[in-house]
Amino acid sequence: SQKIEQNSEALNIQEGKTATLTCNYTNYSPAYLQWYRQDPGRGPVFLLLIRENEKEKRKERLKVTFDTTLKQSLFHITASQPADSATYLCAPTRRTYKYIFGTGTRLKVLA
Amino acid sequence: NAGVMQNPRHLVRRRGQEARLRCSPMKGHSHVYWYRQLPEEGLKFMVYLQKENIIDESGMPKERFSAEFPKEGPSILRIQQVVRGDSAAYFCASSPRQGEETQYFGPGTRLLVL
Strand order in the sheet with A105-110: A11-14, A105-110, A86-93, A32-38, A45-51
Cβ density class B75-95: b for 16+ within 10 Å, e for less: bbbebeebeeebbbbbbbbbb
Chain B residues inside the 8 Å CB shell of A10: none
Chain B residues inside the 8 Å CB shell of A93: 101
Question: Which H helix or E strand runs over A49?
Answer: strand A45-51
Give the nearest partner residue to B104 out of A46, A95, A103, using CB atoms: A46
What's the rounded Cα separation, in Å, for the pair A91 and A36? 8
Q: How many residues in total does chain A contain?
A: 111
Q: What share of chain A is helix, strand, coil (3-state, %, to 5)?
A: 5, 55, 45
pLDDT digits (tens, 9 = 90+) for B59-68: 999 999 999 9
- Checking if the pLDDT of B1 tops 70, the result is no
pLDDT digits (tens, 9 = 90+) for B59-111: 999 999 999 999 889 999 999 999 999 999 999 999 887 665 688 999 999 99
pLDDT digits (tens, 9 = 90+) for A7-21: 878 899 999 999 999
Residue from A3, A4, A98 to probe the interface with B (highest B Cβ count within 10 Å) = A98
Minimal-distance CA residue of chain B relative to A93:
B101
- Checking if the pLDDT of B112 tops 80, the result is yes
Contact, B31 vs B48, CB < 8 A? yes
What's the rounded Cα separation, in Å, for the pair A101 and A103? 6
The answer to whether the Cβ–Cβ distance between A97 and B56 falls below 8 Å is yes
Chain A residues inside the 8 Å CB shell of B110: 41
β-bridge pairing A11-14 and A105-110:
parallel
pLDDT digits (tens, 9 = 90+) for A36-93: 999 998 999 999 999 999 999 999 999 999 999 999 999 999 999 999 999 999 999 8
Chain B residues inside the 8 Å CB shell of A105: none
Contact, B89 vs B36, CB < 8 A? yes
What pLDDT was estimated at residue B99?
A: 60
pLDDT band of B41, cuts 50, 70, 90: confident
